[in-house]
Structure 1
Amino acid sequence: MPSSPLPRLTLALALLLVLAVRPADAQDTPGAFDYYVLALSWQPSWCALEGDDRDAPACARGTGHGWLLHGLWPQYHRGWPAYCDSARRPPSRAMTRAMADIMGSAGLAWHQWKKHGTCSGLPPAEYFALSRRAYRAVTRPEVLRKLDRPVRLPAQVIEAAFLKANPDLARDAVTITCRGGRIHEARICLSRGLSPVPCGRDVVTDCRLEGALLAPLR
């Protein structure tokens, strides 16, 4: 009896998957990317999901944090580099502490350098300076800071608020994400010169929740 073609087909599919999936330890090339994603986290959501359990100082009552900088991420048109093998000297503690005002903590600044900054091709001081420029270049909707109680709303409302506050942004340059039923992040796609650009396919998909929770500032 002739052998079934199924095992051969299964083997072929397995080989294709091995070739298609990038190895976890593959090294990306610093500076070789297509655009940036500026990730802004709604701090009350992060605190409810993670920060409170860590007793994070940035989650203390009265801090008044809204959209904080999660990071500036080098991005391919499809996929992204991470943990690049950079020859740059790591940032000093003074550098990471200096980012706490817009990132919430020096620890996050260090992690973002290690995971994303190493792929920028920039030295730490320039990467953090560019991150701050990008953060300041995007107007965070002031109306969201005026909430006095938790509300549930469609994620599209947050996107519309960003578009209204930033007339130069196109709809395909802004993505709103959700996590744990909450508004989580606003992600804005920017060129190397920090001009708005369309997001890639793996970034552009918005949260589709109609009743995402948005908590007020603390």
Structure 2
Amino acid sequence: MPIDNYIMSLIWSPQFCHDRKVSGWGKLQCSGKNGRFGLTVHGLWPNGKTSWPQWCPTRQQPNASTIAKQICITPSRRLLAHEWGKHGSCTSMNPDEFFRTTRMLYRSYHLPDLNRLAQKRIVTAANVREAFAAANPGWTPDMVGLALTRSGWLTELWLCYDKMLKPLRCTRQQWGPADPARVRIRPLD
């Protein structure tokens, strides 16, 4: 399936860790032994015009060196292997190129202070989108999607890109909740 656009999914670690026990996938990220994490990379996801490719057949696998370079921004070897198999395998990139591209994109962001935003009495989806756009010239709020729990807690930011990896307005499916929707942000302790 031809790739039409990409999403860079960033996990809000305080919510991720709240929802999981400090074992398995979340041990490195949530134990506190490695510091505290804010926004980390969930993955870089290719999308087609009508669907998204997943689990494409490949014999290529990321090597230990490639994984080690990624661990500070995606603190789970298991998640990295999963993301390559499910999403990276469907790009035209090899594992090293895929993860290097992911690192390059992540390092290009100025991450918004979601901890400070969490202290506001009322936070909306628009506030979160505007905070990311304000911190990153060239980005506008319509290029930032959100994922929330059923009770409105922020779990992820979805940053939308075209097939050349330039920021792009998100589609309706990528957008998430409407701007007026209330958002709860678990603070970074």
SS in 2 for 1:212: coil
Separation in structure 1 between the aligned mates of residue 45 and residue 68 of structure 2, nearest angstrom: 19
- In structure 1, which of residues 172, 183, 191 is the aligned counterpart of residue 154 of structure 2? 183
CA contact (8 A) 2:129 2:142 kept: no
- In structure 2, which of residues 11, 35, 58 is the aligned counterpart of residue 41 of structure 1? 11
Separation in structure 2 between the aligned mates of residue 60 and residue 140 of structure 1, nearest angstrom: 22
Deviation of residue 64 (structure 1)?
Answer: 2.0
Structure (1 or 2) with the greater helix fraction? 1
- In structure 1, which of residues 125, 128, 132 is the aligned counterpart of residue 96 of structure 2? 125
Change beyond 3 A, Cα 1:149–1:167: closer
User: Which residue is equivalent to 1:215?
Assistant: 186
Q: Given the alignment of the two structures, is residue 65 of structure 1 paired with residue 65 of structure 2, yes or no?
A: no
Deviation of residue 56 (structure 1)?
Answer: 1.3
Once the two structures are superposed, what CA deviation does each residue of 1:63-93 show, in whole Å capped at 9, x if it has no partner? Answer: 2210000000001233211001124x21113
Deviation of residue 121 (structure 1)?
Answer: 1.4
CA contact (8 A) 1:151 1:213 kept: no
Aligned residue pairs total 186
SS in 2 for 1:163: helix
Larger radius of gyration: 1
User: Which residue is equivalent to 1:100?
Assistant: 71
User: Which residue is equivalent to 2:53?
Assistant: 81
Segment drifting more, 189-198 vs 208-217: 208-217
User: Which residue is equivalent to 1:154?
Assistant: 124
State, as a whole percentage, how many aligned pairs show the same letter: 27
**AA at the equivalent of 1:215:** R
CA contact (8 A) 1:68 1:103 kept: yes
Change beyond 3 A, Cα 1:53–1:90: closer
Unaligned ranges ≥5, structure 2? none
Deviation of residue 202 (structure 1)?
Answer: 1.9
Segment drifting more, 168-177 vs 33-42: 168-177
Unaligned ranges ≥5, structure 1? 1-28
Separation in structure 1 between the aligned mates of residue 140 and residue 110 of structure 2, nearest angstrom: 14
Deviation of residue 154 (structure 1)?
Answer: 2.0
Change beyond 3 A, Cα 1:105–1:36: same
Structure 2 length as normaliser, TM-score?
0.86
Once the two structures are superposed, what CA deviation does each residue of 1:96-125 show, in whole Å capped at 9, x if it has no partner? Answer: 232110011111111100000001111100
Separation in structure 2 between the aligned mates of residue 57 and residue 149 of structure 1, nearest angstrom: 26
Structure 1 length as normaliser, TM-score?
0.75
Change beyond 3 A, Cα 1:152–1:198: same
